[in-house]
Amino acid sequence: MTNTDTAAQLASATRTPSPRTYLMCRPEHFTVSYKINPWMEPTNPTDTKRALAQWQTLYDTYLELGHTVELVDPVDGLPDMVYSANGGFVIDNIAYGASFTYPERQAEGPAYMDWFRERGFDLRVPANTNEGEGDFLLVGNTILAGTGFRSESRSHSEVASVFGREVVTLSLVNPSFYHLDTALAVLDPLTGDENANIAYLPSAFDAKSLAILQDRYPDAIIVSEEDASILGLNSISDGFNVVIASRAIGFERQLRERGYNPIGVDLSELLLGGGGVKCCTLELRR
């Protein structure tokens, strides 16, 4: 098969959206008052009203796409709680709780766990440090798991036993891409392993992890440093619609070429805390 055949085949592929349920947290207390990643600069001003308005656009976008969004109450004094992806990891109604790396975020763990318990999820209290869906991504039937900056590799084996699924460890090497969801996007999560696909930034991974990604996902979208540097990969796909950072122009084009429908949202204010679309979104798989 020639390259042109492959390109035509990919573009004509039928992408099917499926309705999802997400957990989000309104950024009522959002600010940058400490620095736990290279994006955060406590001396730079933040605008909480603007963060709220941008977050609202993301929320409205999900509803317009037919998704359901549930909300957890924000807690005063926990400015990063808006990044709900870090609050846990949920598959088959089992919620594996988070145990945060830095003291500044540690109280978020129990706040999210209380929410899961109250909503009837089968809560598993974590024994190891992990930051939820920031580092655990379900791709088809496989769980890709990041380590290097936040989640300990011991949490990967814990996740494997909690969910009884294959867990593939990936090591992150660039402090700007400290969570797996800043370096890798899941495009087709619900279609089983044969059709599962991702997008990623190769330089964010060590050589061994990169070899695993190349072997498992030969058709992956390789995203540019430029798009990744505004957290363009930090995106949410329903199998057809992909909500991305509006400034990730190259990624937008790549998605369109593959038959996806990219939708740009501006979360520049939340980028000051080192988070984007995906960070503000935790998938609830009941």
Question: What burial letters (b/e) apply to 72-92, b meaning 16+ CB within 10 Å?
Answer: bebeeebbbbbbbbbbbbbbe
Q: Is the dihedral of CA 90, 91, 93, 97 positive or negative?
A: negative
Our answer to whether residue 279 is catalytic in this structure is yes
Look at residue 123 and give its three-state secondary structure: strand
Q: Does 148 participate in binding ligand ARG (rule CB under 6 A)?
A: no
Look at residue 205 and give its three-state secondary structure: strand
Nearest approach, Cβ of residue 247 and ligand ARG (Å): 17
Nearest approach, Cβ of residue 251 and ligand ARG (Å): 17
Nearest approach, Cβ of residue 33 and ligand ARG (Å): 11
Q: Does 273 participate in binding ligand ARG (rule CB under 6 A)?
A: yes
Nearest approach, Cβ of residue 192 and ligand ARG (Å): 25
Among 67, 74, 80, 138, binds ligand ARG (CB under 6 A): 80
Among 146, 148, 264, 275, binds ligand ARG (CB under 6 A): 275
Beta carbon nearer to ligand ARG, 130 or 182? 182
Among 46, 54, 61, 86, binds ligand ARG (CB under 6 A): 86
Nearest approach, Cβ of residue 194 and ligand ARG (Å): 28
In the chain the beta strands, taken as DSSP E runs, fall at 21-24, 68-71, 88-91, 94-97, 122-124, 136-139, 142-147, 167-171, 184-186, 198-200, 221-222, 236-237, 241-245, 261-265, 282-283
Our answer to whether residue 179 is catalytic in this structure is yes
Supply φ then ψ for residue 203, to 5 degrees: -70, -10
| 151 DSSP assignment | S
Q: Does 238 participate in binding ligand ARG (rule CB under 6 A)?
A: no
Interface mask (CB under 6 A) for ligand ARG, residues 201-230, using x and -?
------------------------------
Span 2-41, contacts to ligand ARG by CB under 6 A: 36-37, 40
Q: Does 94 participate in binding ligand ARG (rule CB under 6 A)?
A: no
| Helix runs in the chain, H state only | 3-12, 48-64, 108-118, 153-163, 192-195, 207-216, 225-228, 249-257, 268-271
Nearest approach, Cβ of residue 6 and ligand ARG (Å): 32
Beta carbon nearer to ligand ARG, 213 or 282? 282
Beta carbon nearer to ligand ARG, 13 or 75? 75
Q: Does 172 participate in binding ligand ARG (rule CB under 6 A)?
A: no
Look at residue 155 and give its three-state secondary structure: helix
* Contacts for 137 with CB less than 8 Å, ≥ 6 apart: 143, 144, 145, 180, 181, 184, 186
Q: How far is Cα of residue 234 from the mean position of the Cα atoms in its chain?
A: 6
Beta carbon nearer to ligand ARG, 124 or 150? 150
Say how many Å lie between the first and final Cα of the chain, rounded: 41
Residues designated as active site: 179, 279
| Binding stretches for ligand ARG (CB under 6 A) | 36-37, 40, 80, 83, 85-86, 105, 134, 179, 181-182, 273-275, 279
